Amino acid sequence: MSLHNLADTPAGNPTVSAPEPPVAVRAGRQVPEVNIEAAEHAVVDLLRALGRDAESTHLHDTPRRVAAAYRELLTPAMFDLTTFPNDAGYDELVLARNIPLTSLCEHHMLPFRGVAHVAYLPGERILGLSKLARVVELFARDLQVQERLTMQIADWLDEHLAPRGIGVVVEAEHLCMSMRGVHATGTSTVTSAVRGRLRENESTRREFLDLIRG
């Protein structure tokens, strides 16, 4: 893992903009580092702003827990992209269906949860199957919108595996839409991204959608 600490701003110089937060590179994705101490202080402030006694016996450990929970939800695991030569010349779709997914919507910082279906049409190499789920997690652990998440999964596979085609479908329920606001409980939002043969060829795309439905 490489870690870039961007240049510090000289103290007291109002003409220089604030430093960018440090960023780590995980499996090819730039992931901002969480400042856990600052996050804990911010949760204390939030509790107070919400009229809660942050020092009470019940709440005094809550800032630590909340900061740790957000760090976990926003930090994907690093992994190696294990691929194998496609010696057998397998040229049909490979589909991982119902990959569980939890992310945080960037508007309310509330979870959206569901499944991703990720397929590719192999070229010269096939991918270790677990990596399809790892790629989903790589981009789900972020403040997201579902459309961007769906495209990032497809683009990452395109860039790192270079298969002949890719299909990604994400189905998720957004808590900001079900537990508050419009209270549309049970609504599932579906997004898709197709690349290569799945984009160009109607019958390959149809086959992908049929396989998802089982």
Stretch that binds ligand GTP, among 69-77, 90-98, 128-136, 143-151 (CB under 6 A): 143-151
Binding site, by residue number, is 105, 108, 176
Stretch that binds Zn ion, among 1-9, 53-61, 97-105, 180-188 (CB under 5 A): 97-105
- Least spacing, CB of residue 167 vs Zn ion, in Å: 26
Does residue number 176 form part of the binding site for Zn ion (CB under 5 A)? yes
Residue 90 near residue 158, CB atoms below 8 Å:
no
Residue 37, classified by CB atoms within 10 Å of its CB into exposed (0-12), middle (13-18) or buried (19+), is exposed
Does residue number 170 form part of the binding site for ligand GTP (CB under 6 A)? no
Does residue number 108 form part of the binding site for Zn ion (CB under 5 A)? yes
Binding site for Zn(2+), by residue number, is 105, 108, 176
- Alpha-helical runs (H) found in the chain: 36-49, 62-73, 130-140, 146-161, 175-178, 197-200, 202-213
Q: Tell me the chain's radius of gyration from C-alpha atoms.
A: 21
Binding residue (CB under 6 A) for ligand GTP from 27, 47, 74, 105: 105
- Which is it for strands 83-85 and 125-127: parallel, antiparallel or unpaired? antiparallel
Rule CB under 6 A: which residues touch ligand GTP? 105, 107, 145-147, 174, 176-177, 181-182
